[in-house]
Amino acid sequence: MKRLFKNIEALGTFDRNQTEWTQAAILVEDDTIAAIGSDPALEHVQADEVIDCSGLVIIPGFVNTHHHLYQSLFRNVKGVQNAKLFDWLTFLYERWKHIDARAITSAAKVGIYEMMLSGVTTTSDMFYLFPFNQNHLFDAEIQAARETGVRFHPCRGSMSLSKKDGGLPPDCVVQTETEILSESIRIIRTYHDPTPKSMLRIALAPCSPFSVSERLMVETLELAIKEDVLVHTHLAETQDEERHCLERFGLTPVALMEKWGWLNPNAWFAHCVWVSESDIERFAEHQVGVSHCPTSNMRLGSGIAPIAEMLRKPQIRVSLAVDGSASNDTGNMIQEARNALLLQRVTKGADALAVKTALECATYGGARVLRREGELGSLEVGKAADFIGFSVDRLEFAGGLSDPIAALVLCDAKRVDLSVINGEIRIRDGRLLGVELSELIREQNRISKEILTR
């Protein structure tokens, strides 16, 4: 199947030369970009379908590297709207423990469709909550994600340390190390697809230093190396976490990761707010990946991650992420790019983070973090056909088109009009194709209310 997307008003490839085109075209053959260039150059190409992209600005699809999809049931929860991380977590664990397969299915679809409408074509998800050993919740989430058509990197998360052992979560949501590791093997063997242009890859993700044991961190890493999958966790999100690590282990969060062997090129960490200059040096030395979650960090008052400083070290793979909807209340990657930009500039000045760098973190940076920069994150011949288009004939862009690609961030684009994932058109004229949202929204509200009033 050949599809020609032509008359593209502006095209940002985010390739290594930062090539941009006006009046451009993309030829897609099945799941792959077969040609890209100016409209006249591709004029005589034979295609099965021609899609007119007049008025559209096209860039690579966003790669979201950190999320907790189940939390789309727990946005804006009354009682913790103004709480910081540890209080917020302690309150919410008591609600989260009531989730089941029906809840996960609904939450995953809502979270993914919401992100797709904001331009996400690949997303990761850290799912670490298995109340009363409901291991099948992970399978339910994968099934739901498959139905959406998104490229998916679910992380088998875990918590093994409950209150009685000095952790934060209640007993009923943690599992034993043995169960977590055997489930991790089952999930990898059942779902992980390492082939090129894979739509599903598994990573392993113990939740955080305050909810898992040292043994689980070390053995999870060993298993991931053996099975050749990536590892992911939360790191240095708050000052409370730093205090917790210093009291329990006598080490800062980053030093702890180094001790456990977790600083390596197959690992990525969410947040990294409270990191020192020497931590950043260590990140570079070990080529780790970082998921910067600016909205979540602002919402919980966690602090400002030194992203501008990390970006000065090209060995560090910096990406953007929405984080769970309980600490963001939305799931919008354009907003993350905009907030990343504004947040760095608050204290470091207008040149702290360039507009196109913010977009690059949201696209190519995400692909690097998931170790897929050879296939995703930029628009180049041979790469996966994952791209998004924004109609710039809208009120919010009027008068702002001297640089239409930067306008997506600076003029605050709301939603995509076109989304192509692995060569399939998933959103056209701003609508998700073949998806009935109203029943999904009703079901989601029903479940959310049921859980919160239990």
How far, CA to CA in Å, does 312 sit from each of 284, 308, 357?
A: 10, 7, 12
Least gap, CB of 189 to Zn ion (angstroms): 26
Q: Is 360 near Zn ion (CB under 5 A)?
A: no
Assign 264 to helix, strand or coil: coil
Secondary structure (DSSP) of 118-179: TTEEEEEEEE---GGG-THHHHHHHHHHHHHT-EEEEEEEE----GGGT-SS-GGG---HHH
Number of residues that bind Zn ion (CB under 5 A): 1
Q: Choose one: 17-25, 319-327, 338-346, 348-356; the region binding Zn ion (CB under 5 A).
A: 319-327
**Shortest Cβ contact with Zn ion: which residue?**
323
Is the Cα dihedral 6, 8, 13, 18 positive or negative?
A: positive
Among 9, 31, 323, 360, the residue binding Zn ion under the rule CB under 5 A is 323
Q: Choose one: 1-9, 75-83, 101-109, 321-329; the region binding Zn ion (CB under 5 A).
A: 321-329
Is the CB of 237 or the CB of 360 nearer to Zn ion?
237
Is the CB of 119 or the CB of 157 nearer to Zn ion?
157
Least gap, CB of 270 to Zn ion (angstroms): 5
By CB atoms closer than 10 A (0-12, 13-18, 19+), residue 358 is buried
CA separation for the pair 100, 320 (Å, rounded): 29
Q: Is 237 near Zn ion (CB under 5 A)?
A: no
Q: Is 241 near Zn ion (CB under 5 A)?
A: no
Q: Choose one: 216-224, 323-331, 387-395, 442-450; the region binding Zn ion (CB under 5 A).
A: 323-331
The greatest distance separating any two alpha carbons of the chain, rounded to the nearest whole angstrom, comes to 70
Least gap, CB of 234 to Zn ion (angstroms): 5
Least gap, CB of 365 to Zn ion (angstroms): 18
CA separation for the pair 118, 55 (Å, rounded): 18
CA separation for the pair 316, 279 (Å, rounded): 11
Q: Choose one: 110-118, 141-149, 315-323, 383-391; the region binding Zn ion (CB under 5 A).
A: 315-323
**How many helices and strands, by DSSP H and E, does the chain display?**
15, 17
Of residues 120-139, those binding Zn ion (CB under 5 A): none
Is the CB of 81 or the CB of 182 nearer to Zn ion?
81
CA separation for the pair 203, 197 (Å, rounded): 16
Binding residues for Zn ion (CB under 5 A)? 323
